[in-house]
Amino acid sequence: MRDFKILLCDDSLLVRKKMKDALTEKGYQALFEASDGEEAIAICQKEKPDLVLMDIVMPKKDGLEALAEIKNFDSSIHVVMVSSIGTQGKLMQAIKLGADNFLQKPVTTEAIVAIIEKIQSGGGEG
């Protein structure tokens, strides 16, 4: 669990803090934060996280563009979209760009942990 690296990417400090607090409590320690798509890409290149929890609507570079770029240079990084816009259209777009899963906000810790465990057990295509 210690080595499982998770990048939390959301432009809202509150969302990042809530996810970070919840995951820290569950024992995950290798947590990184980004507040837009550009930062997320930079951290992915440097840290090679196992999982990115990625918001969609963000300034500078949105989550779908960042998803495409991340999957392009390292398709082994799992990217799960966490967005308030859970429309069929956004879902299809995200899947087409290689997203591993899609959670609609507000998300529960249980939902995130279930996704992490699925990835850790090798069933990450979710």
β-bridge mates for residue 52, sequence order: 7, 79
The closest of 34, 15, 24 to 107, measured between CA atoms, is 15
Asked if 14 interacts with another protein (CB under 8 A), we say: yes
| CB closer to another protein, 10 vs 50 | 10
Residue 12 in the binding site for another protein (CB under 8 A):
yes
Pairwise CA distance, residues 43 & 34, whole Å: 8
Among 31, 98, 104, 114, binds another protein (CB under 8 A): 104
Integer Cα distance of 122 and 48 in angstroms: 17
Among 88, 121, 123, 125, contact with another protein (rule: CB under 8 A)? 88
Q: Which residues bind another protein (CB under 8 A)?
A: 11-15, 17, 57-59, 83-89, 104-106
